[in-house]
Structures are given as structure tokens and as C-alpha cells.
Structure 1
Amino acid sequence: MDNMDLQVLRQVQQWHDADHRVVLGTITRTWGSAPRPVGSIVAVRSDGMIAGSVSGGCIEDDLVARIREGALTLKAPELIRYGVGAEAAQRFGLPCGGTLELMLEPVGAGSSIAALLERLSRGERVLRTLDLTTGVVTLTEPPAHSRDGADRLVLSGTRMVTHHGPQWRLLIIGAGQMSQYLAQMALALDYQVQVCDPRDDYPWTLLAAPLTRDMPDDVVQRLDPDGHTAIVALTHDPKLDDLALMEALRSPAFYVGAIGSRVNQAKRRARLKEHFDLSDAQLDRLHGPVGLHIGARTPPEIALAILAHMTAERYGVQVSSSAVPTGGAEAGCVV
């Protein structure tokens, strides 16, 4: 669930608390080209107010029209489909003949929206199971290490199961200024963020990204990285970074990066190979200098470059951080 959908749930709860009738729509399947992924949500109030989006706007307009006409006085969840055929696809803003399937559910006391929001506020991951006959929702905890983003929605003839809460994790080694920007941006992208820095002279104020003063390699081991985990080292201190990077590069983490110039990256690779017996294949997984080369100079720009590269890796887009700058020092890599 991204932050846009979390905002929709908060709006749904506010409307429900104010005794408005609300219908919540969840994308269950798409064919062809669809504007938003499966699991995305939209909410429509009885007077036509809308929160969220599942298309370029045309489907939302149709839902509002249906509600104003009284056609969506639902007693139980109902599945509808948009965009069948080229003409309908064009009408509903689905390019390339796309088709979109939407589960509509009337929001009531059994929808458990407030309980879901409470658990999400604590950073938990939650399975929301909707009974398609009664509309009643149950909330459970996903199995440990169940982080398959492709399995965020399961629809059967009797129920719909959706995954909520952070699907991706980020460990930042170092609590400096750049880490503050990286953590804030990652939280906005729905990462579960943890920061590690054993140095007491680096304060940390971002409560949504908890800080531990334990040694970074111990934190990586405890984190038990999986394919939805990113680890970024930002301390410039080999005593802190190298052991943690060793553990990270031996794990299934989808992204491992370290700040530093190309000269220092070459020295780091040599240390990791000589002292920790990492293979060339493992070392090739290290993104250093970390992030895309976009000409970034300031801490927020560098944080943006790092998250842009992480996003590309998540979606399998082939980009590289190895472009040689045309002039000047690389951002954040002068030592």
C-alpha cells in the first residue's frame, strides 16, 4: 500500500465517523495498460465526493454518477469491470485497450478501517480479508518473511485478501544529514526504515525511522535481509561500513549501496575481497558510488539519486550508477 492509498483510508474513516455512506473500490485485476496497479483503492461518498484514484479520472466520474443516481446502494461487495473493448477503454481512460476490474464494498462497522489504520500507524504489515458475502473484514498478520509484492491481492469466489503496510525495508548505516533526507523520502515511498549508527555524537530526531546504536553488522544479521530489503552505507567509515556490507552482499537484499568516490570504492572492493573473502559476483552487487549519476550535489539531491536507483532495481529497469561525470567531483564522494 502506498501513501496515496493510506490517505484514502484515513478519509474513508473520517467520512464514516461523520455518518456518510461510503463505497470503497479496490482494483482486483487489470489487462493491458492500466493507470494504477492491482490493490490500488478509491473511495466515493454518497454525495459524490471522491478520494483516491484508479484511473485517469473517467472511472471515478462514472462511479460518482452511479452513486448520485442511487445505483450503488450496495448491501454486500460487488465486482464490476471497466474498459471492455476499444471504445470503452477510451471512454474510461484505459490506454491500449486496457481493462480494469474493481471490487466495490460498502463501508460499515464490519469494515475494520479504524483498526487497520491503528495497526498501520504502528508500522505493522496487515492482511485484510473481506468476506464477499457479508462484507465483514478480519485483520491478521502476514506470515514471517512473506514479502512478495506480487501477492498483494488474492481474490476468490468467497473472499478478497489485500496486503497493507510496508512491503519494502531500508536499513541506513549512518545518522548524518544525508540519512535524514534519505529516510524521509523512503518513508514517503512506503519503505519501513531503520537507521543504525553506534556513534553517540550523531543525533537522530526522525521517530518514524527508529535509530539503533548497535554495530551495523550485528544489525544486518538481525534484520535477516530478503529480496525486499535495501541496505545503504553512508558513514564513510570502513570500520562501520565494511562488516555490514559484507553481511549485506551475502544476503538476498535487492539493493546494497555505499557512498564514496570511485577511488575509495575500488579500495573498499579490495578490502572486502581480501579480508572477507567475498566473490567477484558478490562484489558486483555493490552499488558504489551509490545512486544514479544525475549531477546531484546537495544531501537531498543525493538522497533522491539513491532512491531513484533503488526504484529502478525494484522494477527491473536496467540503469547504471557507473556513468563517469563529465567534470567536477561526484556528489557526496569527495573522500
Structure 2
Amino acid sequence: MQHLDLQVIDQALTWSREGETVWLCTVLATFGSSPRAPGAWMAVIRDGSHLGSLSGGCVEDDFIKRLAEGQFENPAVVIRYGDTDNTQARHITLPCGGILEVLVERLPATPEIREHLGTLKATLEGQRPLMRHVDIHTGSRYFTDDATLGPRVIWPSEEGAPDRVSMRLTPARRLIIAGISAVSSACASFAATLGFEVIVCDPDETACQAFDVPGVTVKTQLPSLYLAANGCHDATAIVALSHDPRIDDLAMMEAVRTPAFYIGVMGSRRTSAERMKRLIRSGGLTEEQVERLHMPIGLALGSKTPAEIALSIMADIVRVQHGKTLHEL
């Protein structure tokens, strides 16, 4: 299962290659409660086929209905949903009581558009981070390199241009799980639900064949060899959950050589202390590299069952991803 953003852009590119005009909808801003955050995408074609979402369904239904009526022929337009003072969509009241501002881009099936969508896809798959700029007045769009942190959507632009939207593009979130165990299955399921691309690696062919979590990619391979051959991008979390040091330790030795934003390994405090000494003594890791490892892994929730442990792991990954310290929880 690909991250939803990647699925949306991949489908938009497929439709464009098939000669379809695509309407790409982006949540620009939310006011009050909202089911989707700024930057969320939905791609739609004229017959109503769509992928992605903007709300709980009411906005999507209204947009598809209006598209069928021949609206949204301009290159770009901003619609405001949930605002009773707005004549365009005053009849739509969001269940959460919030307000959505949505950028709608009409993307005809041209080589230029396919190249643009291809760049979007490549960025989500792990190539260099970019900033995407769209002129609302003309519909023109272009990319610039971006290595900064900040909100996903900037509007008006940082230069104060009211007709330009800027959107940060980063790789789709990925979770690499080293080793198959009961915790691995629950963790993979949670991660897939959260929208992560999930890859599970284990050298045991029988265990891989029996691993059955929908949408998860399974590799019959030592996790350390997978990481050495493929690496990862900086939107990746790597967790070792096998309880077998021959798998977990080797995975950690490769993981610290990557830009992964989260690296963790399962085990008790005693096991973790022993592993730390072993990784430095036998694995050749520096103290700085070992300090990158979250061990024991996960939040201290008092977890006992595999599902509870998996919950604590994914909660900690989300915490780190959003830049929250433990004392802020």
C-alpha cells in the first residue's frame, strides 16, 4: 500500500497518460475542526472517478456534481467550503463545523502536465524535497528546491503574493520493519492505517509467506541487506521487532547509516543496555550513532500485549515525526 498522497499523484499521472483531463484539489487551509489537514489531495476526472479526499464526503460529492455540470474550467480557482457567507458553497456545512479552503487545478492531458505530475511522484518516492508553486490567477506552476522545515502549505506566499500558493513536498512516510513477530503484524497494520508505506523484511521464507497484513510489502531478505542495498529517505522510520539479535543488531548497524528520522529496537531496559554495549564493542558503532536508537522502543504506556506494544511504537514514531518532546505529552 502506497502512502495516500503517492496513490493520488500516481493515479492522476495514469489518467493523464490515458488522455484524461485531471482536476487536482488541494486543501489550502482549515478553520476550526477539519477532517483533512492542509496539503491533502484529491484527484478527479470528468466521469466522477476520484482518489483521495478533502473531507468526510460532503465536499467530494458537491465537487463531483459541479464538475459533471461543466464547472471548474479555469486553470485554477480557490473554493471555500463551510462558510455560510460564501456564495460558491454556502449550502455545504461540514459535519465538524469547520471551514475548508480548497485549490482546484485543471490539468489537461499534455506532455507538460505529465512531466509535472512525474516530478511530483518522484519527490514523494524519495527524491530531493521541493517546493511547488501555483499561480492562482494564471494556473502556471513550477518547482524550486527546498531544504527548509515549516508548514506544508504557504498562502499567501512568504513574499506576500496573494495569488500564489506554495506547497512543501516531501517523501511519503515509510516504515521499514526488521523481523517478523506478533508485534510486527500489529505494528504493520497500525502503520498502514496511518498512511505509511510499510515494508517488512525477514530472511525466513515460511514466516514471510504466512505474514498477512493487507497493503504491506514483504521482503524475504535480511533487513540489514535490504537497507544496505536500498537505503531510505528521511521520511522513513526503521524498527527492529524480531527479538533475534542476529536480525535486530545487524539492522541497527545499517539503519544508523541512513537519514531515517526514527530508528528503534524492541527489548527490555536490560536487553537494551546489553545491546548498546554490543553494538559499540562488536558492531563498531560510535556512541553518537547508538544515541540515535530508541531503545527500549515506544512510549512507556505499560504495554503488555503485542497490539499494545505496537501502539506504543507507532505513537512514539508519530511523536518524533511531529517534533514533540516527551515532556510535551
TM-score norm. by structure 2 comes to: 0.65
- Quick check: 1:28–1:155 contact (8 Å CA) kept in 2? no
2:71 matched residue in structure 1: 73
- Quick check: 1:166–1:192 contact (8 Å CA) kept in 2? no
Name stretches of at least 5 consecutive residues in structure 1 with no aligned partner: 14-21, 113-128, 324-335
Is 1:286 the counterpart of 2:286? The answer is no
1:310 partner SS: helix
- Quick check: 1:5–1:52 contact (8 Å CA) kept in 2? no
2:185 to 175, 180, 184: 180
Matches within 5 A, 1:83-162: 100-105=101-106, 110=109, 130=113, 139=118, 142=122, 145-146=126-127, 148=129, 151=130, 153-156=132-135, 157-159=139-141
Alpha-carbon displacement from aligned partner over 1:219-243 (angstroms, at most 9, x marks no partner): 2211213311111111112122112
State how far apart, in whole Å, the 2-side matches of 1:196 and 1:51 are. Answer: 29
For the aligned residues, what is the CA RMSD? 4.8
Residue correspondences, number:
288
Is 1:265 the counterpart of 2:279? The answer is no
Check 1:231–1:43 CA distance in 2 against 1; reply closer, same or farther (3 A cut).
closer
State how far apart, in whole Å, the 1-side matches of 2:253 and 2:44 are. Answer: 50
- Quick check: 2:264–2:294 contact (8 Å CA) kept in 1? yes
Alpha-carbon displacement from aligned partner over 1:186-217 (angstroms, at most 9, x marks no partner): 22333222222223453433374333333332
Partner letter of residue 73 of structure 1? Q
1:195 partner SS: strand
Larger relative contact order (Cα-Cα within 8 Å, sequence gap ≥ 6): 2
State how far apart, in whole Å, the 2-side matches of 1:111 and 1:262 are. Answer: 58
Percent of counterpart pairs with the same letter? Answer: 31
- Quick check: 1:5–1:40 contact (8 Å CA) kept in 2? no
State how far apart, in whole Å, the 1-side matches of 2:62 and 2:177 are. Answer: 44
What's the CA shift for 1:270? 1.1
1:180 partner SS: helix
Partner letter of residue 102 of structure 1? L
Check 1:9–1:251 CA distance in 2 against 1; reply closer, same or farther (3 A cut).
closer
- Quick check: 1:34–1:99 contact (8 Å CA) kept in 2? no
1:54 matched residue in structure 2: 54
Name stretches of at least 5 consecutive residues in structure 2 with no aligned partner: 15-20, 144-166
- Quick check: 2:173–2:196 contact (8 Å CA) kept in 1? yes
TM-score norm. by structure 1 comes to: 0.64
- Quick check: 1:147–1:228 contact (8 Å CA) kept in 2? no
State how far apart, in whole Å, the 2-side matches of 1:208 and 1:50 are. Answer: 20
1:19 matched residue in structure 2: none
